[in-house]
Amino acid sequence: MEVVILAAGQGKRMRSVLPKVLQLLAGRPLLAHVLASARMLGARRICVVHGHGGEAVRSRLDAPGLVWVEQNPQLGTGHAVLQAVPHLSADARVLVLFGDVPLIGASTLARLRDAAGQDRLALLTVEIDDPTGYGRILRDGAGRVTRIVEEKDATPGECRVHEINTGILVAPAARLRDWLQRIGNDNAQGEYYLTDIVGLAASDGVEIVTVAPDDVSETLGVNSKAQLAALERIFQASVARGLLDAGVTLVDPARLDVRGELVCGRDVRIDVNCVFEGRVELGDGVIVGANCVLRDVRIGSGTRVAPFSHLDGTVTGEACVLGPFARTRPGTVLANGVHIGNFVEIKNSVIDDDSRANHLSYIGDADIGVRVNIGAGTITCNYDGADKYRTEIGDDAFIGSDTQLVAPVRVGRGATLGAGTTLTRDAPPDQLTVSRARQQSHAGWVRPTKKGG
Ligand code: UD1
Ligand code: CA
């Protein structure tokens, strides 16, 4: 099968400089969702008909097997498909999709394809309570489809039909080409309607079959930000249902956003208002507290992420505790039993088993051994304004509070750094290293008082 995706519309009602099909649903462009469904069917070739902003769309989503066809000017859906026809094999079956109907599912499309067989015209249609704005499916006394009428061209009687055209169809390529060359634009909108091929198919004696989608939401289009927001919630609700079915505890399925892939082990518990981006893996028994954002992370079994943590490009081992208010950035690798507390930022650092940084620290470009204790307010000074340098801290080291480690610098195994130390040279193992002015007390000193007044 070959696929044509119509994506030339400007989407003025989105009021955005971004082409409509690049607007994000669950973190991915609308068109990416449609392409994913088309690919799941094993489509041989996919033609995307673009217009406004075509280059931006192409550079964002180009991939092998995609053919980009420009439609300029835009003279209607029939004219749009006609632009793709020269790129289609004459013996192919052609599936027409809309770039702004993102929830269309592969299983619905597979049924439509199977209903079409080799030589039928298959239409995806649906009965809806309020058919306003859609093309209506017209049938004869025997129930056979005779044509589609657009609402603007419909008689009041035709407007009362509740079976509507979703726009999605499958047709044999050679027939499609012939019909598209025969349609005109003598209608209320002066456009070449794709829907007019249905009347031609009927009069040519081609069998026309209709298929209903698995779920009506699959056929919803995005024309406005309000519709985009509504589809986002439908999408997220279905993700949440999938997680619940897989045994994940979601404290409130309506307050979860997955913008990528979330893979969970057994007995995972996710509190409210968490956002998952990219690929996130949560091991068995992981707990994610309220209001966390996790992007491209792998969390080991039994680890607890406390509320308001922001984890990015991070891997953790088992039984770690992060947050509340932890921030980990790309390149963070935590082994087992590591504790990262509140207002601790970690970047591009490896922290080994059972080490702790419980309060208010910045750890960047560091390699930290096992059982290291990092005191409150510790900072790795990893950047001299031009280059970044690493800090190494050996096993069992104790870093006193308010310490600055001016990299490149090494702290030996078992070393202790006194609070307030600014470490500019390596600290030897097993010794106390302190750098700070000696404390003095002045007996008999008198506090100044305000003069005059
Ligand atoms: C179309 C159908 C209508 C159906 C409805 C479902 C026709 C004539 N009408 O109407 O029966 O009920 O969709 O939503 O097909 N596009 C192009 N080039 C063009 C015109 C449109 O690429 O010249 C693309 C748009 O970007 C959009 C899709 O085709 O993705 C549908 O176009 P739109 O103008 O929204 O069609 P409707 O009038 O809603
Ligand atoms: Ca539309």
What pLDDT, in 10s, does the model give residues 115-166?
999 999 999 999 999 999 999 999 999 999 999 999 999 999 999 999 999 9
pLDDT tens for 295-346 read: 999 999 999 999 999 999 999 999 999 999 999 999 999 999 999 999 999 9
Contact at 8 Å (CB) between 266 and 284? yes
pLDDT digits (tens, 9 = 90+) for 8-36: 987 889 999 899 999 999 999 999 999 99
User: Which residue is catalytic, options 79, 162, 339, 359?
Assistant: 359
Q: Is 192 in the pocket of ligand 1 (CB under 6 A)?
A: no
Answer yes or no: do 325 and 278 share one domain.
yes
For residues 129 and 117, the answer to whether their CB atoms sit within 8 Å is: no
Q: Which backbone phi and psi does 158 adopt, to 5 degrees?
A: -65, -35
What pLDDT score was predicted for residue 11? 83
C-alpha of residue 227 to centroid of ligand 2, in Å: 12
Residues 168 and 231 in one domain: no
- The Å distance, Cα 77 to ligand 1 centre, comes to 5
d(CA 299, CA 247): 17
Same domain assignment for residues 335 and 405? yes
Determine the Cα–Cα distance for residues 85 and 72; give it in Å rounded to an integer: 15
The verdict on whether 359 is a catalytic residue reads yes
Task: Decide whether any atom of ligand 1 lies within 6 Å of the 6 Cβ.
Answer: yes
One domain, residues 139 and 102: yes
Q: What is the pLDDT of residues 369-405, one digit of tens each?
A: 999 999 999 999 999 999 999 999 999 999 999 999 9
Structure tokens at 427: 């600290």
Range of the domain at 416: 225-433
Query: CA-CA distances (angstroms) from residue 34 to 22, 23, 273?
Result: 12, 13, 27
Q: Is 166 domain-assigned? A: yes
Q: Which pLDDT belongs to residue 66?
A: 96
Q: Which atom of ligand 1 is the closest one to the Cα of 135?
A: 11
CATH number at residue 304: 2.160.10.10
Is residue 94 domain-shared with residue 158, that is, in the same domain?
yes
Q: Do both 239 and 384 map to the same domain?
A: yes
Inside any domain, residue 131: yes
pLDDT, tens only, 90-111: 999 999 999 999 999 999 999 9
Last residue of a domain, one of 219, 241, 269: 219
Decide: 150 in ligand 1 pocket, CB within 6 A.
Answer: yes
Span from the CA of 46 to the centroid of ligand 1 (angstroms): 18
d(CA 80, CA 452): 89
CATH code of 81's domain? 3.90.550.10
52 and 181 in a single domain? The answer is yes
pLDDT band for position 215 (cuts 50, 70, 90): very high
Do 87 and 173 lie in a common domain?
A: yes
Tally the domains of the chain.
2
- How many Cα atoms sit within 13 Å of 151 on the Cβ side? 12
In whole angstroms, give the CA distance from residue 192 to residue 196: 8
Q: Whose CA is nearest to atom 25 of ligand 1?
A: 9
Q: Is 308 left (phi over 0), alpha (psi -120 to 50) or beta?
A: left
Of 186, 219, 252, at which residue does a domain stop? 219
Which pairs count as long-range contacts for 387-390, CB under 8 Å and 24+ apart, including other chains? 388/364, 389/365, 390/365, 390/366
Distance from C-alpha of 9 to C-alpha of 22, rounded to nearest angstrom: 12
Chain-centre distance for alpha carbon 181? 40
Residue corresponding to tokens 């991939």: 63
